[in-house]
Structure 1
């Protein structure tokens, strides 16, 4: 059985959904900020004090969402969440997973943690406005990709899709401008209606954000 260390609504939600998609047996271990800063967590779970962390059945402790998602895709190839089995399709999935993880996710930092933004109130607001504008450009790119693809990496769902769902959910929670991005919002809604997503949200006690 797997153990997923998570916090509700964080990017760990993507791993939670994938665990349900592949039908794996797992348990959830919710860890708040204080718990993640403890010496025991840093020593035994993750020295960077972040989630997700997935403890494998053999006891191996795996951190970093991209590594975890790829591990699950490789371990359960019949689920086809890492592409169609070809090298090119696998690269296509990782292209979008990498973009979502490296380019888009990090831009949310000033909006998710405004208390960490340096400077006076005016400088802080300027930093947050730059983040909003940058995210809008990223979401326009993602919307364009979804214009001709049902899922972000192509015609079938992949490990990148629930991660994108998480980021759009954050955007909606913070009232970012997503006007005109109908393909992106359609993707979000399809996932919101997915049984595994619904069940994962219920397990984490999350509400759907319209």
Structure 2
């Protein structure tokens, strides 16, 4: 069975896992999950009871949730691609540290701002949440800019799965006018380089519903109902 990645639309952080799958070139299928309606449905909660994307059904029928777990799983299967590293090595520790920062400090900076978009909030609380989110994002961008330094990629000279995850989250600034990424020239350079990448352009097309034809890696989309019928490990 081909692995199945459940990705959220619109603009889920699962975008990074799609990019990673394309970079790794291993066969996979995709299942589109609309947020918030389908992701919170009883059907999808049979895949991930936390009601979040991404989730992955592996070739063995195991279900893995959370971006970090999925990316580390995928990377371990494709060490020959140079996008991840064997556990216990310095490279793995650096990658895991960067992924952890992106998943906590960087991702979390957007949380107050998405809360404003998705919920009815009285004006005073709205202003406080917006200021809080802006401050968190400014610090996270400044910290990440310092980590990036002069390197072309987040880990230096070598592209990694951290860059795939970064592009899926960094694009969220377009929804929230609280900072200008151009104030962080290294991150802007990285963002622009990734936006030109064919795998990133592929992921954008997938999210827009313009699914490219199946190929050696991408084997096509599958409905949630059909995905639920796939064999899974007990």
Change (3 A) 1:85 1:116: closer
Q: In structure 1, how many angstroms separate the alpha carbons of the residues matched to 2:28 and 2:41?
A: 24
Equivalent residues of 1:110, 1:116 under 8 A apart: no
Q: In structure 2, how many angstroms separate the alpha carbons of the residues matched to 1:147 and 1:83?
A: 21
Name the SS of the counterpart of 2:31 in structure 1.
strand
1:56 to 55, 58, 63: 58
Map of 1:34 onto structure 2: 37
TM-score (norm 2): 0.81
Name the SS of the counterpart of 2:153 in structure 1.
coil
Give the aligned CA root-mean-square deviation in angstroms.
1.9
Are 2:152 and 1:174 aligned? Answer: no
- Structure 2, unpaired ranges of 5+: 210-234
Deviation at 1:146, TM superposition (A): 2.0
Deviation at 1:41, TM superposition (A): 2.0
Deviation at 1:144, TM superposition (A): 1.8
Q: In structure 2, how many angstroms separate the alpha carbons of the residues matched to 1:26 and 1:40?
A: 21
Q: Deviations over 1:34-56 (max 9, x none)?
A: 222222322x2001000000111
Map of 2:151 onto structure 1: 149
Map of 2:7 onto structure 1: 6
Which aligned pairs between 1:57-206 and structure 2 lie closer than 5 A? 57-83=59-85, 87-114=89-116, 120-177=122-179, 178-205=181-208
TM-score (norm 1): 0.90
Count of residues in Structure 1 that have an aligned counterpart in Structure 2: 205
Change (3 A) 1:85 1:39: closer
Deviation at 1:167, TM superposition (A): 2.1
Deviation at 1:5, TM superposition (A): 0.6
Q: In structure 1, how many angstroms separate the alpha carbons of the residues matched to 2:3 and 2:138?
A: 36
Q: In structure 2, how many angstroms separate the alpha carbons of the residues matched to 1:132 and 1:14?
A: 23
Q: Which has the higher contact order (CA 8 A, sep 6+)?
A: 2
Deviation at 1:120, TM superposition (A): 2.8
Q: In structure 1, how many angstroms separate the alpha carbons of the residues matched to 2:86 and 2:195?
A: 24
Q: In structure 1, how many angstroms separate the alpha carbons of the residues matched to 2:88 and 2:60?
A: 29
Deviation at 1:86, TM superposition (A): 6.5
Q: Deviations over 1:92-112 (max 9, x none)?
A: 011111000011212211212
Of Structure 1 and Structure 2, the greater helix share is in: 1
